[in-house]
Homo-oligomer: A and B are copies of this chain.
């Protein structure tokens, strides 16, 4: 074998994530590594907590980045909050609702499913019905922004419903954080996880999470230990606490955290409302162009995520060939369909730094050319 250094091309990332990353963030990523217990690094982690609190719109003390991808953040929420035998109402309207069910079962919980069609938002009425019928349920779990379909569910209504029926909520905000309004405290959400590589436009590999005081209380009152040592948040808490005395848990992914700090700083400087507005405006621009080309969206207009545009592949088109063409000719990545939509849809991401007019224009022009071939 003769292996050389890997020199990737400069792709334009308009799939479901990772999204385009600002050069400023890549620069931060490559700054010299310091020790994970270095006082300066501990100071940076404290700032990171504040920046995450801003992004999540929360004052939750326990707001950190799990040192692993979003699927580990998901698992962290489930294994910490569920004790064996507990009932969890899980909303499923795409791939990630099903993954939630998997997590519940593996954590020893009992999943009660509330199903909605792929591409539709979670039905608030059905969830209320399920809560009524399962008064022994402890948790309501749902996906705010379904990455597999591009549907946005009403996290505010669902969060408040959970409170009304006395259950905790676990919310997948992987694709929503930074792209559409998400107000953890105002909506009374209890355990929310996200990913670094979507609308935050950071490198993949980190999962921001936040736990409400009620969620922390449930964790602290557990009768059984959390099944995962790595994801046991009662241990992680000692590591992220800003009290000066830090207990060693694992070695933090130092450089990735530099990048997250920088990407959150960019978000803070832009302002959340402005970021949401930018995603929405770019979506309108893209939508107008796609409709002109005759594309149809998978999701109805009122529940469409601006940052993830799932459109049906026109009949007679080899969808994989088009994606390869875009990649090879324009260095442009768009996403394939996932699960039930595999082979039938494309997913065009406008996430974070990718939500720019030049990306929208390139994508429309390249798609038009590809289809004309």
**A71–B281 CA distance with the chains assembled, in angstroms:** 43
Set B44, B230, B249: member contacting A75, Cβ < 8 A: B230
Chain A residues bordering chain B, tally (CB within 8 A): 78
Decide yes or no: A32 and B9 within 8 Å by CB, A72-B68, A75-B228, A251-B70 being known contacts: yes
Set B7, B44, B250, B333: member contacting A35, Cβ < 8 A: B333
* CB proximity of A132 to chain B, nearest CB, Å: 29
**A268–B5 CA distance with the chains assembled, in angstroms:** 12
| Cβ-closest chain B residue relative to A18 | B33
* CB proximity of A3 to chain B, nearest CB, Å: 5
**A227–B106 CA distance with the chains assembled, in angstroms:** 5
* CB proximity of A18 to chain B, nearest CB, Å: 5
**A227–B229 CA distance with the chains assembled, in angstroms:** 12
Interface stretch among A123-131, A161-169, A255-263, A302-310? Answer: A255-263
Structural contact, A252 and B204, CB atoms closer than 8 A:
yes
Chain B residues with Cβ under 8 A from A226's Cβ?
106
Query: Given A67-B72, A106-B228, 17 other A-B contacts at CB below 8 A?
Result: A3-B268, A5-B28, A6-B258, A11-B34, A13-B33, A20-B33, A21-B33, A34-B333, A69-B251, A71-B250, A72-B250, A79-B228, A99-B229, A203-B256, A204-B254, A227-B227, A248-B338
